[in-house]
Amino acid sequence: MTAEGRNQPNAPSAIAMSHDTFMKWSGEVAEMVKQRQEATHTRQNKLTGTVFNWAARNALYPLHFGIACCAMEMAAAAAPRFDVERLGVIFWNSPRQCDVLLLNGWISMKLKPVLTRLYEQMPYPKWVICMGECTISGGPWWDSYNIVRGADTFLPVDIYIPGCPPRPEALLDGILKLQDKIRGEKEKFMIPR
């Protein structure tokens, strides 16, 4: 670029561009994406669907909902010894910013509508992991009048991690299995209009 070009207000640069140039460029890109979406009748094309799939499986944000002894093992998985963050997993507290509902502990009838509401508040695509016997089948309280006999009776469960309580290694293995499952779910990222 010449010295005169740098003094011009709308001159493109290899490092940065002016606001007007950026807006023109982004408008052209937005129009191109819109035309591609109309031509393929999808919100994302194959390339962006693949990128979103890769991003989703390598940056999981579980909403941890631990109400019993399995929550201690979940906390141990996040500690330095097991370091679940090396797999791209970051525990989060807001359902609107999470894509995995990680359940552990027994689920009472009073808690069931709360979990349903939390699941509905999560953005699409989303997954559910059941950790421990209490969440999977009711555990020792399976025949109680007030305990749900498994989260899969009211939520679509993707991964089961058995144990009482399951070790942190089992949680890491469950997360790896979820990542493999997400890798095969490319159609979830190709949302038809």
Residues 109-118 have a mean pLDDT of: 90
Q: Which two tokens stand for residue 8?
A: 């011009």
Which range in 52-56, 62-66, 105-109 is most confidently predicted, on average pLDDT? 105-109
Q: Given a cut of 80, is residue 6 above it in pLDDT?
A: no
Q: Given a cut of 60, is residue 8 above it in pLDDT?
A: no
- Tell me what pLDDT residue 183 has: 81
Q: Given a cut of 50, is residue 13 above it in pLDDT?
A: no
What domains can be seen in the chain, in order of their start residue?
Answer: 19-58 (no CATH), 60-185 (3.40.50.12280)
d(CA 159, CA 185): 14
d(CA 178, CA 168): 15
Q: Which two tokens stand for residue 38?
A: 């109309």
Q: Which H, E and C letters describe 24-48, residue by residue?
A: HHHHHHHHHHHHHHHHHCECCCHHH
pLDDT digits (tens, 9 = 90+) for 126-176: 889 998 888 888 888 888 888 888 888 899 998 999 888 888 888 888 888
Q: Which two tokens stand for residue 41?
A: 């009748």
Q: Which two tokens stand for residue 7?
A: 């003094």
Type of residue numbered 21: T
Which range in 8-12, 34-38, 50-54, 152-156 is most confidently predicted, on average pLDDT? 152-156
Enter the pTM of the model. 0.69
Residues 66-89 have a mean pLDDT of: 82
Running DSSP on this structure, what letter comes out for residue 38?
A: H
Residue 75: closest CA among 177, 171, 179, 174: 171
Looking at per-residue pLDDT, the higher value among 60 and 48 belongs to 60
Lowest mean pLDDT among 35-39, 117-121, 123-127, 131-135: 35-39
Looking at per-residue pLDDT, the higher value among 9 and 52 belongs to 52
